[in-house]
Structure 1
């Protein structure tokens, strides 16, 4: 092989290595995802709806077994909300009915228990076993004058603590299993989703602030993206949030309308690389990005 041939091969290899970045810059990324909110559905990476559930939902996950875990909004059948697990054909295989005003979180834990939050006069984080028995009950130090604006996307951390966004209190708190606050950070607007990242930072979406911030272990803001940073100011009620394995951030625009941006993916330097729009009159409350370009995301979803 000549020097020229080697050089040409190196150029081709470099071009191939750069191809995904170039394609992303042209906004040709595709994602399949689960959407929760006024409508509950799964969309594949071609934009086709592949599954629906006929209920309004607050939170949800596609589980490794293919079933879907959902936090149901309050309704006639579930006046205090609920968490259910359903098969793709709609069969309910797990159910826990809320006992207070609302259930706003659902998370399946590694040991098989299910985490949820109850909003009400006694706000709390619960873990229930597969038979629906409460096995952990953690009180939340939150205001009680507005149940709806107490908490949202609570998550259990690898250290066994619970990360709780408290909307009207404008604070994200980390509670230990006894209910003691071991870390907290004030937020510029009502926090909705809080994600503890692998480096110890915390990514937080702030609903009516139409923004997301990332703070370090000391609560210092190290990154921010808001609607004013993006073309057309697309964010309107930035509820759900997910950090992808490539470092990009996806946000919802919940208070939106038909044919407006519902989901948007931005890079660290705030470049828009993907958006999702449809004709539904309602936005997306929260979501789970399932794949990129047809390939399932690796690792636990950070959402």
Structure 2
């Protein structure tokens, strides 16, 4: 290399370095999310934290469909003593999909075949898959305790292979059923070295993701556990990973397309306002995003709809 060429190259490098130092380090873009919240209050929040839609009834689960309609699992009340599943259109009109026949309806998962997976709690707990007209296409009894209806099951989901993933709270089990009701496998959510199950590590939401992994939100145990395909605990989130008791009855969860986990703390209330209602963490347990509000009512379950204004691509893993 000629000396003149060397000095010219050195000058270019020096100018580039000077400009970089003057500009300072790059600042990462702040993460924002819009989301649907279900619970005692049902509402939708935009990326700026503003409430942009509300629904006048308590709900247990909910999905925003690709066409903008919202499917909601209603808590039992005066209108529906056993709970129900409804679809609210973008024009505000409402259509009944299923009226509960027992104690509670706890979930309604919309499938790729335009059906809905529903669980009913009661003396005869069961899973149903129904079409939009309410016709039953799959039905089988759930293998769980029948002494406490409310703690029988929660967020049942249909998997890509056509089987069903169902958490059973007081049974400390997440069971994988086939369409005939046969249990193919079961994950034990009992805390290690707690054979008497004094830690109420009840599975509420179970999400199949990645290479056969299952992320489980365990309510009163205040744990979120990722199990591998063998049912082994390979990742765990507890309050020891946060600056305070942020996990307070972590009912619902969602796995985002980037692999991050979003968790809700249902029992966060006004007396613990410094604790967030929604928490996003990455695989290293670093906090990426939180949602706080001064409402005394917690979020039972939710659906993250976009990140920084970009709509999330399906499937919705929640």
Q: CA deviation at 1:91?
A: 1.0
Match of 2:68 in 1: 66
Normalised to the residue count of structure 2, the TM-score between the two structures is 0.88
Match of 1:182 in 2: 184
Q: 1:8 to 1:113 in 2, by over 3 A?
A: farther
Q: Which has the larger displacement, 107-116 or 89-98?
A: 89-98
Residue of structure 1 aligned with 2:156, choices 154, 157, 163: 154
Normalised to the residue count of structure 1, the TM-score between the two structures is 0.92
Q: 1:139 to 1:277 in 2, by over 3 A?
A: same
Q: Name the SS for the 1:23 alignment partner.
A: coil
Structure 2: gaps spanning 5 or more residues: 191-200
Match of 1:125 in 2: 127
User: 1:152 & 1:85 partners in 2: Cα distance?
Assistant: 19
Match of 1:207 in 2: 219
Q: Name the SS for the 1:228 alignment partner.
A: helix
User: 2:141 & 2:229 partners in 1: Cα distance?
Assistant: 23
User: 1:220 & 1:166 partners in 2: Cα distance?
Assistant: 18
User: Is the Cα contact below 8 Å between 1:51 and 1:88 reproduced in 2?
Assistant: no
Q: 1:72 to 1:7 in 2, by over 3 A?
A: farther
Q: 1:293 to 1:219 in 2, by over 3 A?
A: same
Runs of 4+ in 1 over 4 A off after TM superposition: 1-13
User: Is the Cα contact below 8 Å between 1:30 and 1:274 reproduced in 2?
Assistant: yes
Q: Name the SS for the 2:28 alignment partner.
A: helix
Q: Which has the larger radius of gyration?
A: 2
Residue of structure 1 aligned with 2:146, choices 144, 148, 165: 144
Q: Name the SS for the 1:265 alignment partner.
A: strand
Cα RMSD, aligned residues only? 2.3
User: 1:6 & 1:179 partners in 2: Cα distance?
Assistant: 68
Q: CA deviation at 1:167?
A: 0.4
Q: Which has the larger displacement, 169-178 or 259-268?
A: 259-268
User: Is the Cα contact below 8 Å between 2:34 and 2:46 reproduced in 1?
Assistant: yes
Match of 1:56 in 2: 58
Q: CA deviation at 1:279?
A: 1.3
Q: Which has the larger displacement, 216-225 or 82-91?
A: 82-91
User: Is the Cα contact below 8 Å between 1:53 and 1:90 reproduced in 2?
Assistant: no
User: 1:11 & 1:297 partners in 2: Cα distance?
Assistant: 39
Q: 1:75 to 1:273 in 2, by over 3 A?
A: same
Pairs aligned (count): 295
Structure 1: gaps spanning 5 or more residues: none
